[in-house]
Amino acid sequence: MALLERQLGERPAGCGAAGLTPGQRGLKRAFDLVVSLLLLALLLPVILLAAWAAARDTGASGFFLQERIGRGGQPFRVVKLRTMRPLAGSTVTTLGDPRITRFGRLLRRSKLDELPQLFNVLAGQMSFVGPRPDVPGFADALGDEERVILSVRPGITGPATLKYRNEEALLAGVAAPERYNREVIFPDKVRLNRDYVRHWSFTMDLVYLWRTVFPAPYREKTDA
């Protein structure tokens, strides 16, 4: 695996300020395309059944579409299973948010609400692994060096996603969730995502996927 990555032009650690090489992007996209096709063929009935149940549970469409910022700063619509009643409120969700339905909590706890993003991956709007796509506005706060994050497709999972797997519970324990998210969590996610892009490897993508499916205590990757 390491030999394949070197042949595709992997940069030494710390030298990836410009993002992935064309070969790395091609490898990553080929993996996304093949695996998303296979998973959709296998899981489409599950997604449709869950969407039907979510529609009955929330009284709205079972699929939730929201504008997010993707590669190159381009907006796209992310697709998720609806877990909340269509009521006005903050874009920051905490554990115990009254908008979340009982079935929605099950979907969010199991991460099954993310399954429709396989369509985003297939369409080339997202990748399996990468920085999570933010709602419009957050990308505007990125500094020059941090904008390398926008050079890759956003992901379903990744180092920041794994570290903040229990983000809703964390936010529920602070007095000002939106401020804490903006001043503490967001900058830390930016740091993690910037390092992910700079030190990208196909092997680590597989590790992040494994840790997503089989959760373990988060350990931040450090360079030797």
- Residue 6: what pLDDT? 43
- Residue 162: what pLDDT? 95
pTM of the model: 0.85
Q: Of the candidates 182, 170, 80, which has an alpha carbon nearest to the alpha carbon of residue 137?
A: 182
- Residue 22: what pLDDT? 96
- Residue 121: what pLDDT? 98
Parts of the chain with a pLDDT under 50: 1-16, 224
Strand-pair category, 75-81 with 63-69: antiparallel
- Residue 87: what pLDDT? 72
Distances (CA, A) of 104 to 10, 45, 107, 188: 41, 18, 5, 27
- Residue 169: what pLDDT? 84
- Residue 5: what pLDDT? 40
